Every structure is written in structure tokens, then in C-alpha cells.
Amino acid sequence: MSDSNETIAILGGTGDQGLGLALRFCRSGRRVIIGSRKADRALEAAQNVREQVPEADVEGMGNEQATSAAEIVILSVPFEHTASTVKGIKESLRPGQVVVSMTVPLATAVGDGPMRTVGIWQGSAAELVQSLVPKGVDVVSAFQNVSAHRLQHLAEPVECDVVVSGAKGPRQRVMALCPLVPGLRALDGGPLGNARIVEEMTALIIGLNIRHKCPEGLGIRFTGLPESDAS
Ligand SMILES: NC(=O)c1ccc[n+]([C@@H]2O[C@H](COP(=O)([O-])OP(=O)(O)OC[C@H]3O[C@@H](n4cnc5c(N)ncnc54)[C@H](OP(=O)(O)O)[C@@H]3O)[C@@H](O)[C@H]2O)c1
């Protein structure tokens, strides 16, 4: 199911989480396109990646162009800008592409704190995104519980399980991305509806980070997984 030739676009890859994933995927040898509302910002971010990962196969483009040029499109913008970003790239999406939702509907979107989420009519931010993309484009939920700080700290592995949810084929394509980042382990999270639980776990993790004074960000690990399922 996985294809190592698939190009990964990261929209909002100029921000903390997207840049972290770009660094890690480039380091693994994958081709990455950083997308931004402003192509100049994307070019700068790509240059930043090249400075840290000299062998990087990375380019910077506007969000629409980046979407057209990739098979897997990771949305890396804050929840409150997710719907407008998806609407902005709608014309550039085509059947067969996978859109990865890693957004967390933190209550900061409505002026409340980061330790709570807001309710989404569709059930989760990922399902909201699925309702907005054209027919034939699959949304997969992943990476919500992974710390941007740890992604960017290339000297260390990112010890975290990634629960990946969505339709089976697209889900497997995204699960295959996880082991490209040392320390990440993909867990089969079943249907997209489970994204709601995973998104809410991030609000819990943010509270744990604050109470346990862990600005680098905690990771999560599930125990007891059969060896054959550990990737
Ligand atoms: N930070 C973390 O540790 C973490 C962990 C897990 C999940 N996440 C999720 O990952 C996503 C990105 O998080 P982040 O911390 O990287 O966010 P961020 O740095 O605040 O923003 C990411 C990018 O979003 C774009 N953006 C900002 N305002 C926008 C607007 N008004 N309209 C459209 N795009 C806008 C910007 O890109 P351009 O200006 O270049 O377009 C920005 O660089 C979020 O959905 C978050 O929930 C983050």
C-alpha cells in the first residue's frame, strides 16, 4: 500500500509542527513540498530545512501549487483556519489523494484555553475536513499527539505512538509514513470517527505538559502490542 515515491505536501509547513514533520521526512529521504499562503515564506522554510538537512529533497510553494504537486497533503494550520485552507485548495485536489488532518480543535479557537476542545458538528476536525474535500479524496487523521518541539529536535527520536484513522487503503498509506520518523510507531486507529478521541487526547497532553513542567511535550505509548504489529 505504501509508495516511497509519493510526494508529501505540508500546508502551513512554515509553522512549528509542519516544519518538524518536513525536517523528519526529508531526513528519511522523502520528497517534501512546504506550502504556505505566501510562496516566499514557503521558500524560506524550505531553505531552513536544507540548512538542517543538507540532502533534503524539498521545495516551497503556495498552498494550491503544493497540493497539486503531491499525493499526500498534510494540513498543518491551526484548527480555526482549517476550513478556509481546505476551501482554498479544493480546486487543486484530485481523486486518489490523501489529506492528513492533524489539527486539534483546541478551545483557544474560541478564546478559551488549550486544555479543552470545542465540539464539532461532524464529530471531529478530521471529519469536518472530510466533509469539505471533493469526492474521491480521502481524509486520514494522524500526528495530533506528536510534539512539534520533539519533531524539530533532530538529535533525538520522537518517542510517541501515532493513532492513524481513516478508510483502510489511505490509512495504510499514512501509517507507512510514521516509521520514517525515528521513535514514531503507527497504530491502526480504525475508522475516521475515532479521530475525535485522538484529537481530545492532545488537550489532555497539553494539560499534562503544563502540570508536569514538560515544555518539550510528552508522548504517548500503548503497551502490550504484539511484536508483529509494531512498526
Ligand atoms: N505545535 C504542536 O506541538 C502541535 C502538536 C500536534 C498537533 N498540532 C497541530 O498541527 C497544526 C499546526 O500547528 P502549529 O503549532 O504548527 O501551528 P502554527 O505554527 O500556529 O501555524 C501553522 C501555519 O498555519 C498558517 N496560518 C496561520 N494563520 C493562518 C490563517 N489565518 N489562515 C491560514 N493559514 C494560517 C501559517 O502558515 P503560512 O502563513 O505560511 O500560510 C502558519 O505557519 C495545528 O492544527 C495543530 O493543532 C500542533
pTM recorded for the entire structure: 0.97
Burial classification of residue 171, based on how many CB atoms lie within 10 Å of its CB (0-12 exposed, 13-18 middle, 19 or more buried) = buried
Task: Quote the radius of gyration of the chain (alpha carbons, Å).
Answer: 16
Q: Which residues of 4-34 are buried (b: 16+ CB within 10 A; e: fewer)?
A: eebbbbbbbbbbebbbbbbbbbbbeebbbbb
Q: Would you call 3 helix, strand, or coil by DSSP?
A: coil
Per-residue pLDDT at 229: 79
What tens digit of pLDDT does each residue of 158-176 get? 999 999 999 999 999 999 9
What tens digit of pLDDT does each residue of 75-88 get? 999 999 999 999 99
Q: Which of 11, 14, 17 to mutate to test the pocket of ligand 1 (most atoms within 8 A of CB)?
A: 17
Q: Which of 44, 76, 104, 201 to mutate to test the pocket of ligand 1 (most atoms within 8 A of CB)?
A: 76
Per-residue pLDDT at 1: 47
Tell me how far CA of residue 131 lies from CA of 83, 115, 141, 192, in angstroms.
Answer: 10, 26, 14, 12
Distance 114 CA to ligand 1 centre (A): 14
pLDDT at 5 over 90: no
Are the C-beta atoms of 61 and 73 separated by less than 8 Å? no
Q: Which of 16, 89, 116, 143 to mutate to test the pocket of ligand 1 (most atoms within 8 A of CB)?
A: 16
Nearest CA to ligand 1 atom 18: 15
